[in-house]
Structure formats: C-alpha cells, structure tokens
Amino acid sequence: MCFVLATALYLIRLDLSLKRLPIEERTWKYSVYKILAVTFLTHLILAGIWQQLVNLTWEMTFIIKDFIEMLYKNTGNINFHTLSSLITMTTARWITHLEGLGILTFVLLSLSSRPDYDF
C-alpha cells in the first residue's frame, strides 16, 4: 500500500498536466494520443490513491469498532456497547463519502490557487 501511494504521489508531483506536456511539431493525431495517454494515466493514479484511502478508512473504522467492543467487555459500560453498535458498514461508507468531498474540495482549491492553471 505504501509503495502504491508513494508512486502515485511522486507521479502527481511531476505535474502531469496537459499544459506542460511537451507536444512537439508532429501530427495532430500524435498529439491527441499523447493527451489521451496522460489523461488515462492521471485517472489511473487518482483511482489508485482513492482505492487506498477507501481501504485505509474501512480498516481504521473497524479497528476502532473492535477497540470499543474490547472496552465494553472489560468495563461493562453500556455506552461502549451503544457506540459499537452504531459503527456499521454504512458508517464506513459515509466516512468514505466525506473523505471524497474533502479531497475534491482540496483539489479544486489547489487548482484555483495555481497561477499557471486556467479554469
């Protein structure tokens, strides 16, 4: 997982934007293929990052659920049992959706703050 994230972040750091794409004096067809290749590669990288974040979120959610269940078994406090029963697959999905909105907001804000990027 760390290797996938490190590779994806390194490639994004190289700034694979279409403006910096070195399209030389070649045919129009070659330029379109190059743009499609960069678009596909960027999509693939972002999908890989997203999948790793989803996996990490779900793992952390259920690790926390197991910890709360252990606290309930050790203390017998009904509040821990109630809290543990609230953490379900739906909870993990909602956390994932909130992460997605946060990432989308971050990307849009970072793109709008770049002086070399025009919307």
Of the ranges 3-17, 38-52, 99-113, the best mean pLDDT one: 38-52
- Please indicate, yes or no, if residue 46 is contained in any of the structural domains: yes
Place of tokens 């990307």: 107
Give a yes or no: residue 116 inside a domain: no
Contact call for residues 23 and 38 (beta carbons, < 8 A): no
Per the structure, how many domains does the chain have?
A: 1
Q: How far apart are CA 20 and CA 15, in angstroms?
A: 8
Q: How many CB atoms neighbour CB 62 within 10 A?
A: 15
* Mean pLDDT, range 45-60, rounded to an integer: 81
Judged against a pLDDT cut of 80, whether residue 33 lies above it is answered with no
Is 118 contained in some domain?
Answer: no
Provide the residue range defining the domain that includes 80: 2-9+26-110
pLDDT interval class at 73 (50, 70, 90): very high
Query: Which pLDDT belongs to residue 9?
Result: 60
The most confident of 47-51, 82-86, 100-104, by mean pLDDT: 82-86
Distance CA 88, CA 116 (A): 44
